[in-house]
């Protein structure tokens, strides 16, 4: 096994063990900090009752709808912005505005507009992801090496062929980067929206657990969200490396 | 005159876009929606902002509360993040042991930690600063680490060839070489920190822009909601410009800004 | 006969190869360089000449052997600053102006700042960069960056100048000018120079002596004294003796390359 991996595992095990021991020895109740074993018990209970599954499915659904809608609209829009300067100039102030406002602050507004049901969360995910996708796709199309376009001209590629064989592949790594950035922020957004107003989803569970002082449940939710974050990040990073191995991607 | 317009077509297009958007927004709010509990005209937002800034002055306590939480969290993450990033760059062991925890904390939606931090630190300033800190520290830490790691190998050889001391190597070569990376980490941290402020002030706060937005949302006070959102946006833009200035002053040898 | 200032005795360097066996980069290097001599080292790519230069400077430790400078054995990067290294990439710190780049080696050595500054200016003048003291590296051309690189190495007033293919990244024309500049600067400073290059003509034009390295593991294949009078200029390249030596050296290196498996393997 590689040394760094071994060290990482050691690090995780040691902290978990210390946590368990400290929680058992010193903490009277598990309000402040439930032991890992308590969290695990609570996890199985929540899984068995189907509560966890229900909330997880709700969040996943909202996320999937919003994300795919953002891809369907954001990528073509970003592509057009990269190709046409006037569109870029007309869109830019608004995209920049959307980008510079912390997403979280818009969530109450979106809930006023779209209600406390699924739709408002889909909109939150959509809004966050589409901004990242538009910006990165446009950047990918704009920063294409002019030499490649000259090559396609010299080989007399048609417009369609140039798009399909040169421009899109060149922009692809940027698009995936946009997706990666979008996933992280959208996950934050959807949880925030659920936390603010909803009746299902992991964000709701977070609020419910903290309002009922159910610490094991709170920690189950936190660990689950951490796992979701790591899995989605790792998957997209892998995809990024596969599609553009020549490009340096974020280490984390 | 014609030439003038051609030369500035970019700026003209932008201004036109903003004007058209604002007019459309006004029309949408006053004619089509016509419900102030749902959407208000930009003019109403401006007049509300004017009122809160110059007539009642009620925006200032919120502005100050948020600024303090932000500044404390941001500075704390610099003080912790930069040295820890350097340490990780110098010691593979530290890096390997810290890495899994960092990945976890970095990729988890931060809002999940908010209730936990509240539980541990109470609803005072501590938990708020901690939430902001958690948002800012990782981009700063990662960029400091990365900046230290990618220092040109020839620079290190140069230092050895000139028999510089370890301290001189750090101070004269490694630190300035990683400065642009640290600064771009600071830039990334800015937006995340503001988001952190908003999250922190949702929970049990009595002041702050995040609280303002949250409260306005609960009471369907759309004009105040827009004022709060705008204030956040402006804070971001101002912070960004300040950082850009610092970047220009601190790295005058750079002709362009790294992303 | 001037006494030798640099003495390499049985110098060798090996590293652990991929399959755990020792991999010899160069071995059995015995070389003696007189004070004020200009010695070039040529050889096929990957023959270890650059590594040897780093070993001489103490940047990399030798596996066996001794490096003796001015009668004293050197080890590591402790000790006095006796050698100036001219890097292949100019290795100029982008956040320092030309003057401050040259000052890097002078700071913190007990010189008072204005004295150090004067010294740095003097060497920037010498390399022909008067008036460019306050320029940042990105404002300088490749040739000018190499001049600063050279001035930085000279400013510490070393006994020996180690030059690692300093003109490799320059275009052919700039390269020729820089060679002439180096001849001028050398004649003015009378420094001992060890110059690593893969260009045979460059080595002959500049040197008193040319040392040919064999292919991996690098050893000294043969040494040649350059029979050309100084001062030299570009016309010397059409001199009969220059052309003869160039041909001899070329054949030798060609043999080495063939022994290594041909050009495609380089």
CATH assignment, A35-243: 1.10.3720.10
CB B182 within 8 A of CB B147: yes
Closest CA of chain B from A94, distance in Å: 8
Backbone angles phi, psi at A249, to 5 degrees: -110, 170
Q: Closest Cα partner for A48 from A40, A38, A60?
A: A40
Q: A155 or C150: which carries more pLDDT confidence?
A: C150
Q: Closest Cα partner for A137 from A69, A70, A81?
A: A81
Confidence of residue B257 (pLDDT cuts 50, 70, 90): very low
Question: Using the beta-carbon criterion (under 8 Å), do A102 and B232 form an inter-chain contact?
Answer: yes
Interface check B160 vs C, CB under 8 A: yes
Q: Is residue C173 part of a domain?
A: yes
For chain A, percent of residues with pLDDT exceeding 90: 21
Maximum CA pair distance of chain C? 56
Closest CA of chain A from B162, distance in Å: 32
| Residue-wise pLDDT tens digits, B225-240 | 999 998 988 888 899 8
If you average pLDDT over every residue of chain A, what do you get? Answer: 85
The predicted model gives B57-72 an average pLDDT of 91
CB B113 within 8 A of CB B203: no
Chain B residues lying within 8 Å of C136, measured CB to CB: 252-253
**In the sheet where C22-34 sits, what is the strand order?**
C22-34, C4-16, C64-69, C72-73
Does C166 lie in the same domain as C35?
yes
Question: Using the beta-carbon criterion (under 8 Å), do B142 and A112 form an inter-chain contact?
Answer: no
Q: Among B150, B152, B163, which would you mutate to test the C interface (most chain C Cβ atoms within 10 Å of its Cβ)?
A: B163
CA-CA distances (angstroms) from residue B49 to B25, B32, B209, B229?
17, 24, 13, 11
The predicted pLDDT at position A1 comes to: 60
Give the integer Cα–Cα distance in Å for B113 and B93: 27
Chain C residues lying within 8 Å of B172, measured CB to CB: 93, 104, 107
- In sequence order, the β-bridge partners of residue C15 are C23
Q: Is residue C71 part of a domain?
A: yes
If you average pLDDT over every residue of chain B, what do you get? Answer: 86
Q: Among B63, B111, B256, which would you mutate to test the A interface (most chain A Cβ atoms within 10 Å of its Cβ)?
A: B111
Helix (H) or strand (E) run with residue C4 in it: strand C4-16
Chain B residues lying within 8 Å of C138, measured CB to CB: 253, 255
3+ Cβ–Cβ pairs closer than 8 Å linking A and C: no
Q: How many CA atoms lie within 13 A of A201 on its CB side?
A: 29
Give the integer Cα–Cα distance in Å for B40 and C85: 70
Chain B residues lying within 8 Å of A111, measured CB to CB: 217
- Which residue among B161, B165, B252 sits closest to C85, beta carbon to beta carbon? B161
Please tell me the total count of domains within chain C: 2
Give the integer Cα–Cα distance in Å for C77 and C80: 8
- Which residue among B154, B161, B253 sits closest to C138, beta carbon to beta carbon? B253
Closest CA of chain B from A164, distance in Å: 28
CA closest to A90 among chain B residues: B17
Q: Which of C 84-103 lie inside 8 A of B, CB atoms? A: 84-85, 87-89, 91, 93-96
Length of chain A: 252
Which of A32-36, B105-109, B164-168, C135-139 shows the lowest per-residue confidence on average (mean pLDDT)? A32-36
The predicted pLDDT at position B3 comes to: 44
Confidence of residue A252 (pLDDT cuts 50, 70, 90): very low
CA closest to B251 among chain C residues: C95
Beta-carbon contacts of B129 under 8 Å, excluding residues fewer than 6 positions away, are B69, B72, B73, B76, B200
CB atoms closer than 10 angstroms to residue A114? 16
Give the integer Cα–Cα distance in Å for A82 and A134: 9
| Residue-wise pLDDT tens digits, B83-101 | 999 999 999 888 888 888 8
Question: Using the beta-carbon criterion (under 8 Å), do A112 and B222 form an inter-chain contact?
Answer: yes
Chain A residues lying within 8 Å of B18, measured CB to CB: 93
Give the integer Cα–Cα distance in Å for B229 and B48: 13
The predicted pLDDT at position C210 comes to: 93
CB atoms closer than 10 angstroms to residue C36? 14
Q: Quick check: bond before B44 cis, omega within 30?
A: no
Backbone angles phi, psi at B11, to 5 degrees: -65, -40
Q: Is the pLDDT of residue B75 over 80?
A: yes
Helix (H) or strand (E) run with residue A113 in it: helix A103-114
Question: Using the beta-carbon criterion (under 8 Å), do C91 and B163 form an inter-chain contact?
Answer: no
ipTM over 0.90: no
Beta-carbon contacts of C50 under 8 Å, excluding residues fewer than 6 positions away, are C88, C164, C165, C196
Give the integer Cα–Cα distance in Å for B253 and C139: 9
Domain stop point among C105, C133, C157? C157
Below-50 pLDDT ranges, chain C: none
The predicted pLDDT at position B8 comes to: 67
The predicted pLDDT at position A58 comes to: 92
Which of A1-15, B68-82, B93-107, C186-200 shows the lowest per-residue confidence on average (mean pLDDT)? A1-15
Q: Which chains touch A (3 or more CB pairs under 8 A)?
A: B
Q: Closest Cα partner for A188 from B197, B117, B109?
A: B109
Q: Among B17, B96, B109, B114, which would you mutate to test the A interface (most chain A Cβ atoms within 10 Å of its Cβ)?
A: B109
CA closest to A220 among chain B residues: B112
Domain stop point among C135, C157, C179? C157
Give the integer Cα–Cα distance in Å for B13 and A92: 10
The predicted pLDDT at position B258 comes to: 39
**CATH assignment of the domain containing C231:** 3.40.50.300
Does C190 lie in the same domain as C234?
yes
Q: Closest Cα partner for B137 from B90, B84, B101?
A: B84
B40-250 adopts what CATH topology?
A: MetI-like fold (1.10.3720)
Token pair in block for residue C166 = 């300093």
Backbone angles phi, psi at C161, to 5 degrees: -110, 120
| Residue-wise pLDDT tens digits, A195-224 | 888 888 899 998 888 888 888 888 899 989
Does C118 lie in the same domain as C166?
no
pTM of the model: 0.83
Q: Closest Cα partner for A142 from A176, A177, A170?
A: A170
The pairing of beta strand C64-69 with beta strand C38-42: unpaired
Q: In chain A, where are the structural domains located?
A: 1-33, 35-243
Backbone angles phi, psi at C169, to 5 degrees: -90, 0
Confidence of residue B259 (pLDDT cuts 50, 70, 90): very low
Does C227 lie in the same domain as C104?
no
Interface check C107 vs B, CB under 8 A: yes
Chain A residues lying within 8 Å of B220, measured CB to CB: 112
- Which residue among B107, B213, B220 sits closest to A105, beta carbon to beta carbon? B213
Token pair in block for residue C179 = 């060679």
The predicted pLDDT at position C145 comes to: 93
CB B232 within 8 A of CB B209: yes
Interface check C104 vs B, CB under 8 A: yes
Query: Helix or strand or coil: residue C224?
Result: strand
Give the integer Cα–Cα distance in Å for A118 and C152: 67
CA closest to A180 among chain B residues: B107
Does C174 lie in the same domain as C78?
yes
Segments forming the whole domain that contains residue C146: 92-157
Beta-carbon contacts of C220 under 8 Å, excluding residues fewer than 6 positions away, are C28, C29, C30, C31, C211, C212, C213, C214
Beta-carbon contacts of C67 under 8 Å, excluding residues fewer than 6 positions away, are C6, C7, C8, C9, C11, C55, C56, C58, C73, C74, C75
Q: Is residue C87 part of a domain?
A: no
CB C47 within 8 A of CB C214: yes
Token pair in block for residue B19 = 């004007």
Confidence of residue B4 (pLDDT cuts 50, 70, 90): very low
CB C94 within 8 A of CB B172: no
Helix (H) or strand (E) run with residue C184 in it: helix C172-189
The predicted model gives A241-249 an average pLDDT of 66
With vertex at residue A245, the alpha carbon angle to CA A244 and CA A247, rounded to the nearest 5 degrees, is 70
Question: Using the beta-carbon criterion (under 8 Å), do B160 and C77 form an inter-chain contact?
Answer: yes
Closest CA of chain B from C227, distance in Å: 33
Give the distance from CA B67 to its chain's centroid.
12
Give the integer Cα–Cα distance in Å for B153 and C76: 18
Does C184 lie in the same domain as C247?
yes
- In sequence order, the β-bridge partners of residue C40 are C195, C210
The predicted pLDDT at position B155 comes to: 92
3+ Cβ–Cβ pairs closer than 8 Å linking A and B: yes
CA closest to C90 among chain B residues: B154
CA closest to B171 among chain C residues: C104
């Amino acid at each position: 096994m590689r040394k760094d991996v071994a060290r990482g595992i050691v690090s995780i095990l040691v902290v978990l063990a210390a946590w368990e021991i400290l929680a058992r020895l010193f903490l009277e109740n598990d309000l402040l900090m439930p032991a890992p074993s308590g969290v695990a018990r609570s996890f199985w209970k929540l899984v068995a009752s189907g509560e966890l599954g229900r909330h997880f499915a709700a969040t996943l659904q909202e996320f999937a709808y919003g994300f795919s809608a953002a891809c369907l609209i954001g990528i073509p829009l970003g592509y057009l912005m990269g190709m046409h300067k006037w569109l870029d100039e007309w869109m830019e102030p608004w995209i920049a505005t959307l980008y510079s406002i912390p997403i979280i602050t818009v969530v109450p507004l979106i809930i006023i507009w779209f209600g406390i049901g699924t739709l408002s969360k889909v909109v939150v995910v959509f809004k966050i992801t589409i901004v990242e996708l538009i910006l990165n796709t446009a950047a990918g199309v704009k920063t294409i090496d002019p030499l490649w376009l000259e090559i396609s001209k010299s080989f007399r590629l048609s417009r369609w062929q140039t798009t399909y064989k040169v421009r899109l592949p060149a922009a692809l790594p940027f698009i995936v980067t946009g997706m990666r950035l979008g996933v992280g922020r959208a996950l934050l957004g959807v949880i925030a929206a659920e936390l603010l107003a909803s009746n299902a989803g992991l964000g709701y569970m977070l609020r419910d657990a903290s309002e009922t002082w159910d610490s094991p449940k709170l920690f189950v939710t936190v660990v689950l969200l951490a796992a979701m974050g790591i899995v989605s990040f790792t998957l997209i990073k892998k995809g990024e490396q596969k599609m553009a191995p020549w490009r340096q991607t974020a280490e984390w | 005159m014609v030439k003038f317009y051609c030369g500035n077509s970019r700026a003209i297009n932008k201004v036109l876009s903003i004007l058209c958007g604002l007019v459309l927004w006004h029309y949408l709010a006053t004619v089509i929606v016509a419900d102030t509990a749902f959407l208000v005209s930009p003019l109403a937002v401006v007049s509300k902002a004017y009122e809160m800034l110059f007539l009642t002055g009620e925006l200032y306590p919120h502005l100050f509360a948020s600024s303090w939480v932000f500044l404390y969290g941001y500075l704390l993450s610099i003080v912790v993040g930069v040295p820890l990033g350097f340490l990780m760059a110098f010691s593979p062991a530290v890096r390997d042991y810290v890495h899994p925890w960092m990945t976890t904390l970095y990729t988890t939606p931060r809002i999940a930690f908010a209730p936990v931090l509240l539980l541990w630190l109470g609803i005072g300033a501590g938990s708020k600063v901690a939430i902001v800190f958690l948002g800012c520290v990782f981009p700063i830490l990662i960029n400091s680490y990365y900046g230290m790691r990618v220092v040109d190998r020839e620079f290190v050889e140069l230092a050895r060839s000139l028999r510089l001391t370890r301290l001189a190597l750090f101070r004269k070569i490694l630190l300035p070489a990683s400065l642009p990376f640290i600064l771009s980490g600071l830039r990334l941290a800015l937006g995340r920190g503001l988001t952190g402020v908003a999250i922190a002030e949702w929970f049990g706060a009595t002041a702050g822009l995040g609280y303002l937005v949250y409260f306005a949302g609960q009471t369907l006070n759309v004009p105040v909601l827009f004022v709060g959102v705008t204030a956040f946006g402006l804070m971001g833009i101002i912070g960004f410009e300040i950082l850009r200035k610092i970047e220009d002053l601190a790295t005058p040898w750079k002709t362009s800004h790294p992303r | 006969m001037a006494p030798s200032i640099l003495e390499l005795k049985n110098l060798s360097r090996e590293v652990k190869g991929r399959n755990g066996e020792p991999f010899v980069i160069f071995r059995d290097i015995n070389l003696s360089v007189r004070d004020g001599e200009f010695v070039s080292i040529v050889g096929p790519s990957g023959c270890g000449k650059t590594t040897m230069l780093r070993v001489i400077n103490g940047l990399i430790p030798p596996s066996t052997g001794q490096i003796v400078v001015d009668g004293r054995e050197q080890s590591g990067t402790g000790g006095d600053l006796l050698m100036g290294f001219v890097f292949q990439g100019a290795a100029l710190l982008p956040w320092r102006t030309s003057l401050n780049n040259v000052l890097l080696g002078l700071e913190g050595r007990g010189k008072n700042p204005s004295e150090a500054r004067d010294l740095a200016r003097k060497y920037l003048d010498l390399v022909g960069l008067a008036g460019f003291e306050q320029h940042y590296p990105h404002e300088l051309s490749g040739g000018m960056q190499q001049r600063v690189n050279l001035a930085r190495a000279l400013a510490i007033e070393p006994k020996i100048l180690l030059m690692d293919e300093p003109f490799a990244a320059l275009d052919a024309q700039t390269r020729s000018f820089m060679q002439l500049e180096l001849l001028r600067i050398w004649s003015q400073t009378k420094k001992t120079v060890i110059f690593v290059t893969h260009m045979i003509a460059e080595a002959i034009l500049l040197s008193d002596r040319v040392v040919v390295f064999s292919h991996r593991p690098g050893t000294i294949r043969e040494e040649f004294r350059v029979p050309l009078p100084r001062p030299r200029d570009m016309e010397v390249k059409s001199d009969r003796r220059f052309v003869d030596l160039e041909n001899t050296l070329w054949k030798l290196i060609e043999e080495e390359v063939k022994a290594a498996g041909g050009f495609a393997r380089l």
